[in-house]
Amino acid sequence: MEPSSNEVVRDELVSGVVASRGAGTVAGTGTMRQQMWRVFRQNKLALASLAFVVILILGAVIYPFFFNGLYWKSAPIDLANTCFNSTAPGYTGSAPPSAHHWLGCIKGYDTIGLLFYSGRFSLGIGFLSAIVTMSLGVTYGMLSGYIGGKLDAILMRIVDMMLSIPGLYLLILTIVLFGRSFVALTVVIGFTGWFGVARLMRAETQSLRERDYVAAAITMGASRQRIIYRHILPNAMSTMVTAGTFALGDAILALAGIGFLGLGLQPPQFDWGTLIQRGSDVFKLGYWWTIWPIAALFILFVLSTNYIGDAMRDAFEVRLQEQ
């Protein structure tokens, strides 16, 4: 069974960039959680990433409340907004960064405000659909891997088949059919992204069920349910956490792709992809600030989730070594 190209390639990328960490020697004593935090803290890059993601989430939750009428309720165009004092003819409201608007304006809205406002939807859909992806993929993969035999063969053929439909086309097809509301997008992105996770979890379960402690549990008469919940699931945690952070990054990128194609959320709701799409037509006229800040945000966010996932994997592995 070949892994999908994405997983393999990503594993290569991660192992290449975060090559020197020296984790595994610092666990020491304390409760499990303290040990894990100590290992996580060791990775400065992951710590910075965590700070960035937390600031982004806090900003998305809190910031729109400060600008209630402007960005939250229905995001109406505020005529008193200084964005409209732009000198660009024909494109009023797309002003370059200034002391008043640190990242400039996009069509009448302050970019920072828009970033945080649309972050609510992007992050919300991202996290929720990552949860959907993970629960589907983990259940499916564990069943397939643990029960094995004919069921495994059939389930894995289904995954192979779904993986042979290009993801973006499948996504577009389902969006046509189920609409573009917050809930529909969450479900659609969640349901089209779990195939890789299922494969990964199947492989992990297959290797875990051959371990001695599972054999011991079977000998002691543990039920299948108990073995899955108490023995296999906790030990697959590090893989799950890594897969989860990647699922989050993938979901947010997928949402951005959809938004950029004009199939994302509809105003007054925005996501980061829709924001880029709105900025893109003025960008072609030389308004660089409509794209650059969002680009930086995207890259930083996806890199951050990958680094955090990597550090968390280390933390979980150390916990396992200690036991």
Among 57, 170, 203, 217, binds another protein (CB under 8 A): 170
Q: Considering the complex, what minimum distance in angstroms separates the CB of residue 80 from another protein?
A: 31
Among 32, 77, 154, 158, binds another protein (CB under 8 A): 158
Q: Quote the CA–CA distance of 208 and 190 in Å, as a whole number.
A: 26
Single out the segment in contact with another protein by CB under 8 A; choices: 86-94, 132-140, 196-204, 298-306.
Answer: 298-306
Q: Considering the complex, what minimum distance in angstroms separates the CB of residue 286 from another protein?
A: 6
Among 66, 169, 213, 229, binds another protein (CB under 8 A): 169
Residue with Cβ nearer another protein (61 or 291): 291
Q: Quote the CA–CA distance of 204 and 209 in Å, as a whole number.
A: 9
Count of Cβ atoms closer than 10 Å to residue 304 Cβ: 22
Structure tokens at 174: 């389902």
Q: Does 1 bind another protein (CB under 8 A)?
A: no
Number of residues that bind another protein (CB under 8 A): 56
Q: Which residues of 119-133 are buried (b: 16+ CB within 10 A; e: fewer)?
A: bbbbbbbbbbbbbbb
Q: Does 223 bind another protein (CB under 8 A)?
A: no
In terms of Cβ atoms closer than 10 Å to its own Cβ (0-12, 13-18, 19+), residue 13 is exposed
Beta bridge partners of 105: 110
Among 160, 203, 218, 317, binds another protein (CB under 8 A): 160
Q: Does 16 bind another protein (CB under 8 A)?
A: yes
Among 147, 182, 303, 322, binds another protein (CB under 8 A): 303
Single out the segment in contact with another protein by CB under 8 A; choices: 13-21, 79-87, 131-139, 206-214.
Answer: 13-21
Structure tokens at 290: 């409509």
Alpha carbon of 132 to those of 26, 104, 126, 185, 189: distances in Å?
A: 34, 36, 10, 12, 9
Among 26, 55, 77, 176, binds another protein (CB under 8 A): 176
Q: Considering the complex, what minimum distance in angstroms separates the CB of residue 221 from another protein?
A: 37
Among 230, 288, 320, 321, binds another protein (CB under 8 A): 288
Alpha carbon of 222 to those of 91, 186, 205: distances in Å?
A: 69, 37, 17
Closest CA to 71 of 118, 123, 106: 118
Residue with Cβ nearer another protein (237 or 291): 291
Single out the segment in contact with another protein by CB under 8 A; choices: 29-37, 147-155, 236-244, 276-284.
Answer: 276-284
Single out the segment in contact with another protein by CB under 8 A; choices: 23-31, 33-41, 70-78, 163-171.
Answer: 163-171
Residue 75 near residue 69, CB atoms below 8 Å: no
In terms of Cβ atoms closer than 10 Å to its own Cβ (0-12, 13-18, 19+), residue 317 is middle
Closest CA to 85 of 72, 100, 70: 100
Question: Which residues have C-beta within 8 Å of that of residue 80, sequence separation ≥ 6?
Answer: none
Q: Does 168 bind another protein (CB under 8 A)?
A: yes
Q: Does 275 bind another protein (CB under 8 A)?
A: no
Q: Does 177 bind another protein (CB under 8 A)?
A: yes
In terms of Cβ atoms closer than 10 Å to its own Cβ (0-12, 13-18, 19+), residue 58 is exposed
Q: Considering the complex, what minimum distance in angstroms separates the CB of residue 282 from another protein?
A: 12
Residues near another protein (CB under 8 A):
2, 4-6, 8-10, 12-13, 15-17, 157-158, 160-170, 172-179, 249, 253, 256-257, 260-263, 273, 276, 280, 283-284, 286, 288, 291, 294-295, 298-299, 302-303, 306
